[in-house]
Amino acid sequence: MRGEHPDPPGSAQQLLVTLGQLVDQALERIKYQRARVELAMALQRHMLPPGLPELPGLRIAARYTPARDGLDVGGDWYDAFVMADGSLALAIGDVQGHDVEAIAFMGQVRTSLRAVAGTTADTREVLARANDLLISMGCGLFATCCFLRFDPVSRDLTVSRAGHVPMVWATASGRTGVALDLGGAPLGIMPGEKYPVTRRRLTEGGVLVLLTDGVVEGPHYPIESGLAEVVRLVEAGREGDPGVLASAIVRVADLTGHRDDAAVLVVRYDGPDADALAP
């Protein structure tokens, strides 16, 4: 037909070859990204404790959910271990960043806390020494943390915070609340930082909930509302299985719209004393 200009021979075939190459490159990038995320998430899982300690009269449960987008990995973590004097150490925290470097720093934070806790039972000293140790490593990152020590003999509970979300508590009598204890700067920022300590008494039927901001805070959801929802759940489920309560609490993140990872640590003490948990 007059005016038509047919494609040169082989141009259609060359176009198909080019498109095929672009598709192959895209698939390779997807495979690489998937492998990177899977590797980072596997590393992150191995950074969390493989199990939780078992002590008479204590039931401990933990839950962790990864970032909602599935593209980033976070630095939320928790830990629970028995100290040299037989007391129970509980820790939870959130590391700055969402990459493999943040996960590696998370491991350094957990290791530092455990190492220092082997030399002192003072929670403020644990955070202070761990803070200086992390700064000396020169990582350039920081982490929030809440560190607790519970003596199962005296039932004394000491708490120190490094810029972290406050814990939620409940007593056997039905009292619940948010522990707005004083705290210091996040770990890894201020050399020589001091961390105040709050002393409490954990008694029979007492419940403690440690969590990260990924549970209770979202882009359009204030942290006060998230904590209020956790208090409601604790009030309703304080007498039940800590694992069930932990699962319910970590799902609060679905309300907040937070895309970050989230961690929850729940402790219930079924000891012989029925006194209230009080500051």
1 has a pLDDT exceeding 60: no
212 has a pLDDT exceeding 80: yes
Nearest Cα to 132, choosing from 184, 86, 81, 205?
Answer: 184
Q: Which residues, other chains included, contact 71 with Cβ-Cβ below 8 Å and sequence gap of 6+?
A: 37
**pLDDT score of 30:** 64
Q: Which CATH number fits domain 43-272: 3.40.640.10, 3.60.40.10, 3.20.20.370, 3.40.50.300?
A: 3.60.40.10
Q: Which residues, other chains included, contact 80 with Cβ-Cβ below 8 Å and sequence gap of 6+?
A: 49, 52, 53, 60, 62, 88, 89, 90, 91, 265
Whether the Cβ atoms of residue 53 and residue 88 lie closer than 8 Å to each other: yes
Q: What pLDDT, in 10s, does the model give residues 11-46? A: 767 766 676 666 667 667 666 556 555 555 555 555
Going from N- to C-terminal start, the domains of the chain cover 43-272
Q: What pLDDT, in 10s, does the model give residues 120-132? A: 999 999 999 999 9
Q: What pLDDT, in 10s, does the model give residues 263-278? A: 999 999 998 643 434 4
Each as own residue / partner, the long-range contacts of residues 175-183 (CB below 8 Å, 24 or more positions apart, any chain) are 175/276, 175/277, 176/231, 176/234, 176/235, 176/238, 177/231, 178/227, 178/231, 179/279
Nearest Cα to 140, choosing from 94, 92, 98, 189?
Answer: 189
Q: What pLDDT, in 10s, does the model give residues 80-104? A: 999 988 899 999 999 876 666 777 7
Nearest Cα to 228, choosing from 220, 216, 210?
Answer: 216
8 has a pLDDT exceeding 90: no
Indicate the average pLDDT of the chain. 83
**pLDDT score of 31:** 61
Q: What pLDDT, in 10s, does the model give residues 41-63? A: 555 555 567 789 888 889 999 99
Average pLDDT value for residue range 164-173: 94
Question: How large a percentage of the chain has pLDDT more than 70?
Answer: 76
**pLDDT score of 274:** 38
